[in-house]
Amino acid sequence: MTITVIGAGYVGLVTAAVFAELGNKVYCVDVIKDKIDELKRGEVPFFEPMLSDYIKKNLKEKRLFFTTSYSESVPKSKTVFICVGTPPKTNGEADLSFLFSALRQTAKNLSGYTLITIKSTIPIGYEDDLEETVRKYAKEKFEFAASPEFLREGTAIADTLHPDRIVIGSSSKKAQKMLLELHAPISGERIITDMRSAQLIKYASNALLATKVSFANSIAILCEKMNANVTKVLAGVGADRRIGHPFLYPGVGYGGSCLPKDVLAFIAQSTRFDYDFELLRAVDSINNDQIERFINKIREALEAKEGKRINLDGFSLAILGLAFKPNTDDMRDAPSIKIINRLIDLGAKITAHDPRAMVNAKKILPHVTYATDISKAIQGKDALVIVTEWPQFAQLDLKQVKKLLKKPIIIDGRNLFNAQKIKEAGFKYVGIGQ
């Protein structure tokens, strides 16, 4: 099948690469010419395991094409996937300007019946606006479907090839048939529904994932107060098959390009539909509070007291991990940004290391010294702070770390280390919920 994917971000590029790999002819369109030129050369603008290989292979085999031109791609396509960003506005609602712009351009270039499949996460209630926008410019028959993505950064290709479910949201039998055919080589349960329900599946899923994380963080707070061990407590809770282990790991709070923005957008649209989503407001607020709780842990560990004021003047800290999670270079809504800015505000000097995200971090966090390797980051610092749980950090040689640090203090925002072992190695260790 020939398809067009609009938007060369995470979702668009992964969607385009996977459908091309499965034998389809795929055009990927973006308005940023430089980005398209790079992609034509096989250069991916961010790090995502396997993506670059898939893109290079399918470019070479002439199944994947990058262009800025809607007229080159849309008329040849049976379906157009809309994968543009829907960033948050200041009131938390999703900004749909990229979406409407993509729809106008698509509408002007339709040739024959075309299915417009929305992958972007868009709030409920705009279906008529989408329809009207396209109808205004389209001379051909078209229909809409929603088919949300559930890919996680770091495992995006595998998640797209082997998803838990494929959601097809359209009341049109023709649209359903086309999307079922396109997804035939991909595993996963099929959930066929109307467009609104499909959009709601996406918001409700991300909201529940965020809820699990904030729940885990609340239990961690209680474990600290009650002198219990959160790792054991949540292992016991997650062992119940009705609950499950994933997303029950406490830390410095959830971040990234989806969970924080989707939670806020879901709260905002619930309000528009006259429902106060109290539960989600609490989830968001617990997540925000995690940052200050973590800062307090650092201050307490350093015994940074100066009269009544507690600040971090004169302290130098090594931060390991900047990306919002491991296996990505993505800094969008990364907890490290708030943590580091707050530490700098309090007077601390920060040296940071991340295996992938330092190039992006430098643009957002200019007042940080960046270390090319872990030893350089740690050397001579008052404490080591773990913010992102890259697996290689867990392999650190503790004897070496102890020699390099000025004081043997580790504040671990992801419970990456075994508390007992670290303490036995002579460190003062502060984790989350233990």
Cα–Cα nearest to 48, from 155, 161, 120: 155
Counting residues that bind ligand UDX (by CB under 6 A) gives 20
Catalytic (active site) residue 258 = yes
Q: Tell how strand 142-146 and strand 114-118 pair up.
A: parallel
**Segment interacting with ligand UDX, rule: CB under 6 A, options 95-103, 243-251, 370-378, 399-407:** 243-251
Measure the CA–CA gap between 81 and 102, rounded to whole angstroms: 10
Q: Which of 143, 149, 354, 412 binds ligand UDX (CB under 6 A)?
A: 149
* In the complex, least distance from residue 257 CB atom to ligand UDX, rounded to whole angstroms: 6
Measure the CA–CA gap between 139 and 133, rounded to whole angstroms: 12
- What phi and psi values does residue 309 have, to the nearest 5 degrees? -90, 135
Measure the CA–CA gap between 203 and 181, rounded to whole angstroms: 25
Structure token digits, residue 310: 């507690």
First vs last C-alpha separation in the chain: 54
150 binding ligand UDX? (CB under 6 A) = yes
**What part of residues 3-62 is at the interface with ligand UDX (CB under 6 A)?**
none
For 40-65, b where at least 16 C-beta lie within 10 A, e where not — what string? Answer: eebebbbbbeebbebbbebbeeebbb
Check the annotation: does 151 bind a ligand. yes
Residue 395's DSSP bridge partners are none
Measure the CA–CA gap between 123 and 104, rounded to whole angstroms: 19
Structure token digits, residue 405: 């640090």
Contacts of 54 (CB under 8 A, 6+ apart): 17, 18, 20, 21, 157
Q: Nearest to ligand UDX by Cβ — which residue? A: 258
Q: Which of 138, 209, 263, 357 binds ligand UDX (CB under 6 A)?
A: 209
Q: Which of 256, 321, 355, 433 binds ligand UDX (CB under 6 A)?
A: 256
* In the complex, least distance from residue 86 CB atom to ligand UDX, rounded to whole angstroms: 12
Q: Which of 3, 259, 331, 340 binds ligand UDX (CB under 6 A)?
A: 259
**What part of residues 210-239 is at the interface with ligand UDX (CB under 6 A)?**
213
* In the complex, least distance from residue 365 CB atom to ligand UDX, rounded to whole angstroms: 17
Taking the least distance from each CB to ligand UDX, the nearer of 76 and 152 is 152
Hunting for tokens 């599946």 — which residue is that? 201
324 binding ligand UDX? (CB under 6 A) = yes
Check the annotation: does 276 bind a ligand. no
Annotated binding site: 30, 35, 86, 121, 150-153, 202, 247-251, 255, 261, 325, 332
Annotated binding site for substrate: 150-153, 202, 247-251, 255, 325
Q: Which residues are catalytic?
A: 258
Applying CB under 6 A, the residues found at the interface with ligand UDX are: 149-153, 206, 209, 213, 247-249, 251, 254-259, 324-325
Annotated binding site for NAD(+): 30, 35, 86, 121, 153, 261, 332
